[in-house]
Amino acid sequence: MDRKSAELKRKAVGIVGSGQFATALALRFLRAGYDVTIGSRRPEEAKIISVDGGESVFSDVRVTSVTDCVKAIDVVIVAIHAEHFKSTFPPEVASECAGRILVDVSNRNTRNGTQTSNARLLSTLVPEATIVKAYNTLSAYGVENDSAGGSRRVPVASDDARARAVVMEMTRDMGFDPYENGGLGSALAMEESVLVVFPEWKLPGAMAVLVVLFWVIFALSRFYFATPGIMRWDQLPLKIFNKVFGASTLTLLSLTYLPSTCAAFLQVVNGTKHKRFPGWLDAWLKARKQLGLIAFGLICVHACISTLILSPTYMSAWFEKSSVLIIVPANHTHDVPLNLGGVWMTWIGELSLLFGILAVALMTVLAVTSLPSVTSAMSWAEWRLVHSQLGYFMLTLAVTHVYVMGVPKWVKTGFPLVFFRVKFMSIVFPTLVIVLRLVLLLPCLSAYVDRIRLGWERKRVDTRMGVCEQSV
């Protein structure tokens, strides 16, 4: 076979099934210049598409029986539900698939705890074909419309490296971004990946809910039970909840930065970095980005509400007291014009606001630099500088924002009543996190941590147990 005819053969693809996904893939392959053959149970009934996307005559797609499709084409995409594998590939059809590449695109509806992937099931039914798992992470809509949501990255898995390479090239031809995803053993994880949504947000989401709930309960108890009489229910939506948002932000920011400090202390205690972190710390370290982003969302809400209620009525401590003495002459009957003028902010208000605004600005920088496109444009050293040093600086600014406005009141309140104040309690945990970080910065300790991170070990440990490469 000369090169030209080999090339022409490579540009042909078969698709078993004529449903929604099969149609979308056929259209995409047609646009990429492929000859498309659809293998259907009832070829005469199959709805056929043309390359311009409209339904039309059989001009662009060849429709045959499943047997003829697998007989004629080297690479066949199996776009049917796994429940129909058995009826579609009985032994007589399976034998015709010998030497062919079959691409399994199927997904499951539930995580039924099975240990066998659909791809493995197909490989047992069609043992003489080479099975590749791909495209199950796409959607029919996304395949048809480039503007549709969803990742353009396509994992491709197969035990046969050549088959993987063939399918990856076809994927590129369609305009997607394929990547090697190992052997067929990965198929189970690929099928499960579409059944769970935002798995990395589960733990941080749960932590955030608990934190906000804690502050809601604390704020309500403080205003309702601890100091009855000062609570006005009509100020619950903004004044009280704004305190909850502020306190929750500080707690979540602390939870974002604490695990790296814990990891550093653990490395000091272990005297090595070659020891796995316990599971809880590992999960917590992985949740940092999401925790930080949730905190960013809450600080935006806190900043909006604070701006709206910024007035001497709501924030009396931030504004100078103004009093006017009105002497009304006896028998005075007409209006007396009063020009009360503006009320100036105190230095406490101004300074506290400044620290708050700076903290929000820095948090915005941190949130932007956590976007994948921005992260990929940064070096590791730059990323570390922003998310570690700058992050702690931002936390310190946020805490100072509360200290400046709170200290005069706390001094007046005194112990133990100060423990019932939301603002006071909100900075206890962040202060502890900052102090722990400062302890790590002590020259003797930071030099020790640096040595450990360079690979030094206090005593040799069995590194074969696994190396922890988590960035801290």
- For Fe ion (CB under 5 A), the number of binding residues is 1
Neighbours of 334 (CB within 10 A): 4
Provide the CA 316 distance to its chain's centre, in angstroms.
Answer: 40
Site string for ligand NDP, 29-68 (x = CB under 6 A): -----------xxx---x----------------------
- For ligand NDP (CB under 6 A), the number of binding residues is 24
Alpha helices in 327-442 (DSSP H): 347-368, 372-376, 380-384, 391-413, 422-441
Q: Which is nearer to ligand NDP, 194 or 377 (CB)?
A: 194
CA–CA distance, 27 with 48 (Å, rounded to integer): 10
Residue 246's binding partner, choosing from Fe ion, ligand NDP, none, with beta-carbon cut-off 5 to 8 A by kind? Answer: Fe ion
CB 241, min distance to Fe ion, A: 12
- 410 burial (CB, 10 Å; 0-12 / 13-18 / 19+) is middle
Biggest CA pair distance of the chain: 117
Contacts for 284 with CB less than 8 Å, ≥ 6 apart: 203, 255, 259, 262
CB 268, min distance to ligand NDP, A: 48
- The packing angle between helices 241-270 and 391-413, to 10°, is 120
CA–CA distance, 114 with 226 (Å, rounded to integer): 54
CB 136, min distance to ligand NDP, A: 5
For ligand NDP, the binding residue among 20, 346, 364, 388 (CB under 6 A) is 20
For ligand NDP, the binding residue among 27, 70, 73, 79 (CB under 6 A) is 79
Provide the CA 161 distance to its chain's centre, in angstroms.
Answer: 31
Stretch that binds ligand NDP, among 132-140, 257-265, 330-338, 344-352 (CB under 6 A): 132-140
For Fe ion, the binding residue among 43, 178, 246, 430 (CB under 5 A) is 246
For ligand NDP, the binding residue among 32, 72, 140, 378 (CB under 6 A) is 140
156 forms part of the interface with ligand NDP (CB under 6 A): no
Q: Which is nearer to ligand NDP, 107 or 364 (CB)?
A: 107
Contacts for 205 with CB less than 8 Å, ≥ 6 apart: 290, 294
Query: Which residues are at the interface with ligand NDP (CB under 6 A)?
Result: 17-22, 40-42, 46, 79-82, 84, 87-88, 105-107, 136, 138-140
Query: Which residues are at the interface with Fe ion (CB under 5 A)?
Result: 246
